[in-house]
Chains A and B, each alone.
Chain A
Amino acid sequence: MQAIKRKFATTLMMAAFATTPVAKAVAPRPLTLYTTTHPAMGTEFTLYLYSADAAVAAETSEEVFDEVDRVEQLLSNYRDSSELSRINQNAAASPVTTDPEMLDFLTQSEHWSSASDGAFDITVGRLMKAWGFYRHSGRIPPEEELRQLRAATGWEKVQLDPAARTVHFTLPGVELDPGGIGKGFAVDAAVRILRAQHVVAAMFSAGSSTLYALGAPPHLAGWRVVVPGPLPSHDSLSVITLRDTSLSSANCSEKNFTVAGHLYCHIMDPRTMRPVEGRIQVSIVDPSATASDALSNVIFVETPGQSVETLKKYAPEARALIVSGDAGHPHCTMFHWGVAIDSKRCSL
């Protein structure tokens, strides 16, 4: 699966408590931090898990990554045998019956498309290919090509029928791309496994795109996450503590191409059919990793003012930090962010 957006690195501040034992009076066996990684969805998933038993930690890790693999098989647009590919191949010809989980994924995608008036759009598959981001070969497509693609792009062209469990494309050529929401969906699925296994403290990340903080490390209020500053320094812009919530990030520093000195970001504005201009990076916190992943696209594409209005209306409990402008003159917009930022690196 290819991400719509390249996410900037968020750094976990965990070294200090990597092997911190719980006080003996509280628990007979100390909790130890186990770290496992797994490649999937075109990135590397990492699980930081506190457990009193190495074998249990290993079994839990395996179940979590099995679940990620299962979701990848559901959503991959690189595998012909995935459920998403089956829908892409057949839904224009006639309604395709799918399972409730896939329908839930599409329903959530539709919700954020509607809420953002198309700033988030899961039908950008062919648009991403046209701009060369599917195979890492950036190009500027001719206007005529973009004009033709407009006919095959647009979330309204995907019709869902929850009662019949069907999805139907109203026009041929529509192609779903889960990159802007799929990793968050996989993180939520993995967290359900962790909760079912009664894990009390874990951090699970899909590359640097989306992470979820479950519980808190021993003796701490939560998991500390560093939001790095705008390029080129990458020094800390803000440090936030998370517990039982997710954080998703988007920026265009890692995946882009330059033509005639102009940098083209891989995050598309589906409404203009062009890469977003004027946004540097965004971070958003929400209890749902699926929502935070989608919202990171929304607030990257929308203007800061539009983003604040969207969040007020559709995600009032979210917390967001938006960096706009250019690397030389970054400007920060906060929405319930709740912690300080280094205003020397980003003016408010």
Chain B
Amino acid sequence: MNRRDFLQSASAAALASTTIARAATPAVKPVRLGVIGAGSRGQEDLRQFLRVPGVSVEAICDIYPPRYEQVNRLAGKQVPATANHHELLARTDLDAILIASPVSLHAEHVIATAKTGRAIYGEKALGFTVEDNHNILAEVTRHKVLFQIGHEYRYAAWAQEAIRRVHAGDIGTPTHIYAYWHRNGDWRRAVPQPDPEGKLEHLINWRLYRETSGGLGTELGSHHIDMANWVFGEQPQSVIGTNSICRYHDGRTVGDNVQAVFSYSQGRRLVFSSITDNAKQGCELWIYGTEGSVQITIEDATFYYEKKRSNAPSADKADSKTVIERGVVTGASYSTAGEMPYRGPGEKVVTATSEDPTLAAVRSFTEAVRGEREIFADVHCGFRAAIACAVAHDAVFEENKMAIPGMRG
């Protein structure tokens, strides 16, 4: 499809999709979606969007043509496609834009979309560099557009209930969060052969190269940073970290493992680890409080409580008299029993729904576009996580403690 056809298809598509949506689901207002970046994550987001009543996809933008047919199959129809995001944004039949392009392009795509006034569902991280994040926040705010960041954990019923209980004091005062995203795989996507100049390699495996990717700390860690921000009610102040290439010496320029410690006020900490050659730990986040802990995964949440220590006096008990008459036995009687990890099932959080968090997130966004609710994971939420990612990206190479700037103004 050439540019003229792409734009001309807009009016017909607008009429057709509106008619179908009204006929099929008269109770809901149609939301017509455009997609910038239709790779694996963009397609998964789109698949979930299409599970929301009234949502249709009307156009996509991607510079890799094989995506067009993949989206046609996913959408069950021919979706107008272009490689130029300005062409997509010039259409008049789009109510909202899903942006799932590589993180280094987020600023360009989000700001261009914000200028059109359309609602944006932006994949994380918000922006790539510190400056990108400031610019995105400023433009989204200036144009007063609806913006939701793809931190879908915030929409998982079990995560919401767990954090509610943490904020209510269920585990005492939360002081530390340990977050893991451990996998066993090289994080590569297959590249069609031949690829003599490596163009497809960089296009498809952009996550592996420092000039286009924040590496594991951004692509995976941003979710956990956002969770920690949610728990602590603020963004981190500084970060120190490290990374290396331990296993996959394949030309990549980001680490195949990353460790970073994020500092919050009052000495609170988020410790993040990602490795890619052992999946024992999986993806999980532990919130440690003075009276208990909660483990949050992509499917559930479980509470564990610290052992109770009684300080109540017991002056009149028989064994107290025994102590007085016979004394106590002293010695190297240190017991290691109290140092063992928790055993047992814990208390699993029970919720009314186990709905996929991404589906819950895009449904919530769709309802916000219709004016039915406020956005929870908004642009500020996205900024607080992404600004930490942007600084951490440098910190893990510098291996120095680096300050994380806050919002300007």
Contacts and interface: CB of A to CB of B under 8 A. Distances in A.
Interface of A: 53, 55-56, 58-60, 62-63, 70, 79-81, 83, 85-86, 97-104, 161, 163-166, 196-198
Given A81-B355, A163-B24, A164-B24, A97 B53 contact: yes
Given A81-B354, A104-B76, A198-B193, 11 more contacts: A55-B250, A56-B190, A56-B193, A59-B186, A59-B188, A59-B191, A97-B54, A100-B50, A101-B47, A103-B76, A165-B24
A159 to B, nearest CB: 13
A329 B121 CA distance: 64
Interchain residue pairs A-B with the least CB separation, the first 4: A100-B76, A164-B24, A80-B354, A59-B190
Chain A contact residues, majority secondary structure:
helix
A85 B356 CA distance: 11
A85 B354 contact: yes
A53 B25 CA distance: 50
Given A163-B23, A164-B25, A100 B190 contact: no
Interface string B163-204: 000000000000000000000011011111100000000000
B188 A62 contact: yes
A80 B156 CA distance: 13
B190 A99 contact: no
Given A81-B354, A100-B75, A163-B23, A197 B51 contact: no
Nearest to B72: A100
Contacts of A83: 51, 356
Contacts of B50: 97-100, 165
Contacts of B52: 97
A163 B74 CA distance: 15
A50 to B, nearest CB: 14
B190 A62 contact: yes
B299 interface: yes
A76 B353 CA distance: 16
Nearest to B250: A55
Interface string B258-299: 000000000000000000000000000000000000000001
12 contacts: A56-B193, A59-B189, A81-B299, A97-B51, A98-B50, A100-B50, A101-B73, A163-B24, A164-B25, A166-B53, A196-B66, A198-B193
B159 to A, nearest CB: 13
Nearest to A199: B190
A198 B192 contact: yes
A53 B185 CA distance: 18
A101 B77 CA distance: 11
Contacts of A103: 76
Most buried by A among B20, B47, B185: B47
Contacts of A79: 299
Interface string B50-94: 111110000000000010000001111100000000000000000
A97 B250 CA distance: 43
A60 B190 contact: yes
A101 B74 contact: yes
B71 to A, nearest CB: 11
B193 A97 contact: no
Interface residues of B, number: 32
Contacts of B185: 62
A81 B356 contact: yes
Contacts of A53: 193
A164 B53 CA distance: 8
A121 B299 CA distance: 30
Interface string B340-364: 0000000000000011100100000
Most buried by B among A53, A104, A164: A164
Most buried by A among B73, B74, B356: B356
B193 A99 contact: no
A70 B44 CA distance: 10
A212 to B, nearest CB: 18
A307 B76 CA distance: 32
A70 B70 CA distance: 15
A168 B335 CA distance: 60
A97 B28 CA distance: 12
Nearest to B193: A56
A161 B66 contact: no
Interface in B195-215: none
B189 A63 contact: yes
Contacts of B250: 55
Contact of B355 (A63, A86, A166): A86
A56 B190 CA distance: 7
A70 B25 CA distance: 28
A101 B47 CA distance: 9
B24 A161 contact: yes
Interface string B233-247: 000000000000000
Contact of A97 (B25, B76, B192, B356): B25
Nearest to A61: B190
A162 to B, nearest CB: 8
B260 to A, nearest CB: 26
Contacts of B193: 53, 56, 198
A97 B54 CA distance: 9
Contacts of A80: 354
A98 B190 contact: no
A81 B186 CA distance: 27
Interface in B8-52: 20, 23-25, 44, 47-48, 50-52
Most buried by B among A62, A97, A101: A97
A235 to B, nearest CB: 40
A182 B192 CA distance: 28
Contacts of B54: 97
A37 to B, nearest CB: 14
A171 to B, nearest CB: 22
Contacts of A63: 189-190
B24 A197 contact: no
Most buried by B among A99, A100, A103, A161: A99
B198 to A, nearest CB: 13
A166 to B, nearest CB: 8
B183 to A, nearest CB: 11
B247 to A, nearest CB: 13
A49 to B, nearest CB: 11
A98 B51 contact: yes
A223 B359 CA distance: 41
Nearest to B20: A163
B79 to A, nearest CB: 11
Contacts of B48: 99
A126 B409 CA distance: 60
Contacts of A55: 250
Nearest to A74: B47
A197 B192 CA distance: 6
Nearest to A193: B190
A100 B192 contact: no
Nearest to A80: B354
Nearest to A52: B193
